[in-house]
Amino acid sequence: MRSDILDPEGGETGVDSSLLDDVVLDDVGPEENDADGASPGLFDDLLEGEPIFENKEVLRPSYTPRKLPHREEQINSMATILVSALRGDTPSNILIYGKTGTGKTASAKFVSDELESTSQKYEVPCEVEYINCEVTDTQYRVLAQLANKFVDKNEAVIDERLEELTELRERAREDESVLGDTGFASVEVVTDHIESLRADREAFEQVPMTGWPTDRVYNTFFDAVDYHERVVVIMLDEIDKLVEKSGDDTLYNLSRINSELESSRVSIMGISNDLKFTDFLDPRVKSSLGEEEIVFPPYDATQLRDILRHRAEVAFEDGALTDDVIPLCAAFAAQEHGDARRALDLLRTAGELAERDGTDEVDENHVRKAQEKIELDRVVEVVRTLPTQSKLVLFAIIMLEKNGVHNINTGEVYNVYQSLCEEIDVDTLTQRRVTDLISELDMLGIVNAVVVSKGRYGRTKEISLSVPIEETEAVLTSDSRLSEIENTQPFVQTRFDS
């Protein structure tokens, strides 16, 4: 979020305006510069006092912690299933479910690292491929990414082997007895083998980002995986996004691949925070994918406290947090729905706000401000991405509130909405559609619409804004279409006159 969109002046807003700035230095005014161009005080103030963070990275979402308290059970279940890969068998496919921020990705990455390192230790051919389907969201891309990974791996294996063999051949040329128990009868046999490996290497090609027919991509992937014996675990994170975007073909193909592979075996681990996505799957895919299911329940406040404590130890300087900071972050995030990501965001933001205050201690107030800031960021994002019609409806509600209209009803919103549509020349929806849009805004938590009984006049909706008015208006008018609305006063006036 950019502070200048919302409140360039830092003026009167419902919310502490200092919350609106991102924690960056670019909002320090140029007027503080000295004549000689130096800027005393620019960084000095910020550097003053003890630092709060020892290692802020630890609180960022990109950091994968080595310890995951309260996920032992889920991690053990995964390991119990995947251990067959280390015995050379095919593990059952696994489906992992759980709400956002319940540690699914972190646990899956942890398990995959352990699996790979153990397989190296015991020299068993087992590989894990992690794909985030939010980014890689079509069958073509998933298969291409897998194909290219395995092509790379095969090439690396071949190169290594070629080096060994070329060296062996050199030595054998001097003294053929070095071939002893290598299984090569003569220098010529070694040469033949080298030739055939070179041919294999030539035959592998990288799949381009687009352009090939899907079956060619699939075949390239197939040949690359099956090039030598191994067990491959494919982790498809945010698997629901893949199904939503491009159906279940990929999963269908992958779940049947083992019946055709000769040397290798593939097992799939799907991860989703949408519990219902399997409803959209072909029943065969559904049963194959869900051979094993592991549920990640939300964290409660006590568990979140443990998680935060572990991270805070590394992230903050000793004594930088007052005693109530972690419990409060945990309590806020537990209310949210037990989301560890939210808890960590709160803690980091609270630390950043304290840092900017120039204090060397994060306290309860910083957490409360952080909660407001994060909530406001969410609102800004939701409002910014609303469709134009919804923005107009919301704008109408804001106009009415700004003009002191309370207990706004749908008819009033509709009148102002109509004038706004005329003003910027967009189609006007029916009152019924506008009522639907108001309900949607209600569901998003942007407005509050309650049905009240007016006795013999029937029932009506009373609408009020549930988000800070100034900031929301600023986000709306930053939309180029709505910015054409110039003087809004007359629209509301029209309504009063009529």
> Where along the sequence are the contacts to ligand ATP (CB under 6 A)?
61, 65, 68-71, 98, 100-106, 273, 307, 340-341, 344
Q: How far is the CB of 104 from Mg ion (least distance, A)?
A: 5
Q: Which listed option, Mg ion, ligand ATP, none, makes contact with residue 2 (CB within 5 to 8 Å by class)?
A: none
Instruction: List the structure tokens of 356.
Output: 């900017």
How many degrees, rounded to 5, is the angle at CA 17 between CA 15 and CA 21? 125
Q: Which listed option, ligand ATP, Mg ion, none, makes contact with residue 68 (CB within 5 to 8 Å by class)?
A: ligand ATP
Q: How far is the CB of 108 from Mg ion (least distance, A)?
A: 8
| Residue closer to Mg ion (CB basis): 64 or 76 | 64
Q: How far is the CB of 96 from Mg ion (least distance, A)?
A: 9
Q: Are 71 and 306 in contact (CB under 8 A)?
A: no
Specify the pairing of strand 94-98 against strand 230-237: unpaired
| Residue closer to ligand ATP (CB basis): 345 or 473 | 345
Q: Determine the 3-state secondary structure of 382 from DSSP.
A: helix
Which residues are 449's β-sheet partners?
A: 463
| Residue closer to ligand ATP (CB basis): 103 or 270 | 103
Round the CA-based radius of gyration of the chain to a whole number and report it: 30
Residues 6+ apart with CB under 8 A from 455: none
Cβ atoms within 10 Å, residue 183? 9
Q: Are 307 and 71 in contact (CB under 8 A)?
A: no
| Residue closer to Mg ion (CB basis): 68 or 321 | 68
The CA–CA distances, whole Å, from 243 to 107, 280, 284 equal 22, 8, 15
Q: Are 300 and 102 in contact (CB under 8 A)?
A: no
Evaluated on CA atoms 425, 426, 427, 431, the torsion sign reads negative
Long-range contacts of 450-459 (CB under 8 A, 24+ apart): 452/407
Residue number of the CB atom closest to ligand ATP: 103
Q: Are 88 and 99 in contact (CB under 8 A)?
A: no
Instruction: List the structure tokens of 498.
Output: 């009529």
The residue with tokens 């006092």 is 49
Q: How far is the CB of 304 from ligand ATP (least distance, A)?
A: 9
Q: Are 143 and 218 in contact (CB under 8 A)?
A: yes
Q: How far is the CB of 237 from Mg ion (least distance, A)?
A: 6
Q: Determine the 3-state secondary structure of 448 from DSSP.
A: strand
Q: How far is the CB of 111 from Mg ion (least distance, A)?
A: 14
| Residue closer to ligand ATP (CB basis): 307 or 321 | 307
The CA–CA distances, whole Å, from 324 to 331, 364, 368 equal 11, 6, 11
Tell me how far apart the alpha carbons of residues 375 and 333 are, in angstroms, rounded to a whole number.
12
Q: Which listed option, ligand ATP, Mg ion, none, makes contact with residue 273 (CB within 5 to 8 Å by class)?
A: ligand ATP
| Residue closer to ligand ATP (CB basis): 91 or 103 | 103
| Residue closer to Mg ion (CB basis): 278 or 488 | 278
Q: How far is the CB of 302 from ligand ATP (least distance, A)?
A: 12
Residues that bind Mg ion (CB under 5 A): 105
Q: How far is the CB of 79 from ligand ATP (least distance, A)?
A: 16
Residue number of the CB atom closest to Mg ion: 105
Q: How far is the CB of 98 from ligand ATP (least distance, A)?
A: 5
Q: Are 443 and 385 in contact (CB under 8 A)?
A: no
Tell me how far apart the alpha carbons of residues 143 and 266 are, in angstroms, rounded to a whole number.
13
Q: How far is the CB of 313 from ligand ATP (least distance, A)?
A: 12
Which residues are 465's β-sheet partners?
A: 447
Q: Which listed option, Mg ion, ligand ATP, none, makes contact with residue 169 (CB within 5 to 8 Å by class)?
A: none
| Residue closer to Mg ion (CB basis): 96 or 320 | 96
| Residue closer to ligand ATP (CB basis): 294 or 408 | 294
Q: How far is the CB of 337 from Mg ion (least distance, A)?
A: 15
Q: How far is the CB of 341 from Mg ion (least distance, A)?
A: 9
Q: Which listed option, ligand ATP, Mg ion, none, makes contact with residue 96 (CB within 5 to 8 Å by class)?
A: none
Tell me how far apart the alpha carbons of residues 304 and 467 are, in angstroms, rounded to a whole number.
27
Nearest 5°: phi and psi at 20?
-80, -20
Evaluated on CA atoms 372, 378, 384, 388, the torsion sign reads negative
| Residue closer to ligand ATP (CB basis): 148 or 273 | 273
| Residue closer to Mg ion (CB basis): 142 or 217 | 142
| Residue closer to Mg ion (CB basis): 132 or 403 | 132
Tell me how far apart the alpha carbons of residues 351 and 489 are, in angstroms, rounded to a whole number.
42
